Amino acid sequence: MTPVPSRIFREYDIRGEAESELTDENVLAIARAYGTYLRRAGILKAAVGGDVRLSTERIRAAAVEGLRSCGVDVVDLGTVTTPMLYWSFFRFNADGGVMITGSHNPKNMNGLKLGFKKATLYGEEIQKIRRMAQTGDFDFAAAHGTLEKADIADEYVAMLASKVRLPRPMKIVIDPANGTAALFAGKFFKALGCDVTALYDTPDGTFPNHHPDPQKKENMRDLARKVVEVGAEAGFGFDGDADRIGVVDNEGEIIGGDILMALFWREILPKHPGATAIIEVKCSKALEEEVRRLGGRPYYYKAGHSLIKAEMKRVGAPFAGEYSGHMFFADEYYGYDDSFYAAARLLRLVAAGNETLAQMRASIPAYYHTEEMRIDCPDERKFDVMKQITAQALKDHDAVTVDGVRILYDGGWGLIRASNTQPVLAVRCEGTTPEKRDAIAADIRARILRAGLPDFQWKM
């Protein structure tokens, strides 16, 4: 038996090439390890769901079998979004769960997100699952766990629609990008009372129109055009498993995740005066400034959905988010990332006011930034390279080092960090003027080249 490859066990999930790395044998081993992990913690029930990727059904079946072989009772949700899987923890009182999803990664990839006590495993706990899977540390049960199949779509849509009431009907465009959101988004937004125009709303795991990653501008172009064409008030793009959101305003301009958070804090902080605000290291200085203006207490923290959700619980934060479009609402919601809910909260914010979404966006300072660039760096090298870059940066600048190094310059900052999901370093810069941004970008590029990494050209 070939051991399960170590490289697929990431910081906050498991991801690999579907056919060569997430084989039935490997998924069985992972699921048996996870089932044993649950049983040893006294957890007897887990929900399992998956996205629309072509490999997901096979992987889901292997995961269900592995869990049941260790005596875990399984609720098989079929094809669902990741937020639906998260909600099932509460609906079925299940303290375990597996979501089979490749999220925004290439279509030949897939992965497993592992739930534990209504949160997700990360870090050392993922490595514990790895060691158990590789050594065969399994507790098989005398009798298989039970299997219950459940269709929660209608219940989930009704739950969401009961959480957010819009003061008036709104005209929107949605782009599920042929991902899992295609099965549910139209139904939900119509239940909210929206006039919905939908692009690419047929599920197709080959993603024929564009990749399901709303963080990339090229994947939002069709949505932006359609919003302007039909005179919509907002447009929403979704990633493959619908836990991340991309937003276009009524003028067809993309609103970054950090600016979106600043808008949400305007509604949330008055209800939670002086609240702690977790700011992911990738985010604009404008977000920190807006939180301070509203009376919040901001501090920088690591990227990663599992890491931020755990930190939210630790400090009692009512809300947090990621630049990539994960939005975590503990205010009025369960605390997990749900793109449909985030979209509904934004629509409520717009509908309750007198400004268009474009006017709201324009009220947040527009600093000048690069796109996030991803520089190839092998997994086995990237953390050593980061140590080298960080040590040098601290010799000549102040910096935030909670996740990679956010180097602080006069009039801006530059971030270099190791990705937890891909063999790359992620880099991004921001300046208060285009000239300051460009100077910072040149310095960051020079640091990347000095570390022996490939050259690249910034996208602005």
Task: Enter the DSSP assignment of 216.
Answer: S
Residue 284 has pLDDT above 80, yes or no: yes
Per residue in 310-327, pLDDT tens?
Answer: 899 999 999 999 999 999
Tokens of 80: 């669902």
- Average pLDDT, stretch 97-103? 95
418-to-111, 124, 348, 378, 387 alpha-carbon distances in Å: 19, 17, 36, 10, 10
The confidence score (pLDDT) of residue 200 equals: 98
Residues known to be catalytic: 103
In order of their start, the domains of the chain are 6-151 (3.40.120.10), 155-365 (3.40.120.10), 368-450 (3.30.310.50)
- Average pLDDT, stretch 413-419? 94
Residue 421 has pLDDT above 80, yes or no: no
The confidence score (pLDDT) of residue 11 equals: 84
Percent of the chain whose predicted confidence (pLDDT) is above 90:
90
CA 406 – CA 433 distance, rounded (Å):
18
Nearest to 440 by CA among 404, 403, 413: 413
Do 312 and 330 meet the contact criterion of CB atoms below 8 Å apart? yes
SS3 413: strand
Residue with tokens 């268009």: 356
Residue 167 has pLDDT above 70, yes or no: yes
Residue 270 has pLDDT above 90, yes or no: yes
Kindly report the average pLDDT of the chain as a whole number.
95
65-to-46, 71, 143, 197 alpha-carbon distances in Å: 12, 10, 12, 40
The confidence score (pLDDT) of residue 1 equals: 55
CA 426 – CA 382 distance, rounded (Å):
11
Nearest to 16 by CA among 424, 423, 381: 423
Nearest-Å Rg of the Cα atoms of the chain is: 22
pTM of the predicted protein model: 0.94
Q: How far is CA 306 from the centre of its chain?
A: 9
The confidence score (pLDDT) of residue 3 equals: 85
Model confidence at 2, pLDDT cuts 50, 70, 90, reads low
Per residue in 215-257, pLDDT tens?
Answer: 999 999 999 999 999 999 999 999 999 999 999 999 999 999 9
Comparing 63 with 381, which gets the higher pLDDT?
63
Per residue in 126-156, pLDDT tens?
Answer: 999 999 999 999 999 999 999 999 999 999 9
The upper half-sphere exposure of residue 76, i.e. CA atoms within 13 Å in the direction of its Cβ, equals 17
Residue 307 has pLDDT above 70, yes or no: yes
Percent of the chain whose predicted confidence (pLDDT) is above 70:
100
Per residue in 320-363, pLDDT tens?
Answer: 999 999 999 999 999 999 999 999 999 999 999 999 999 999 99
- Average pLDDT, stretch 25-43? 98
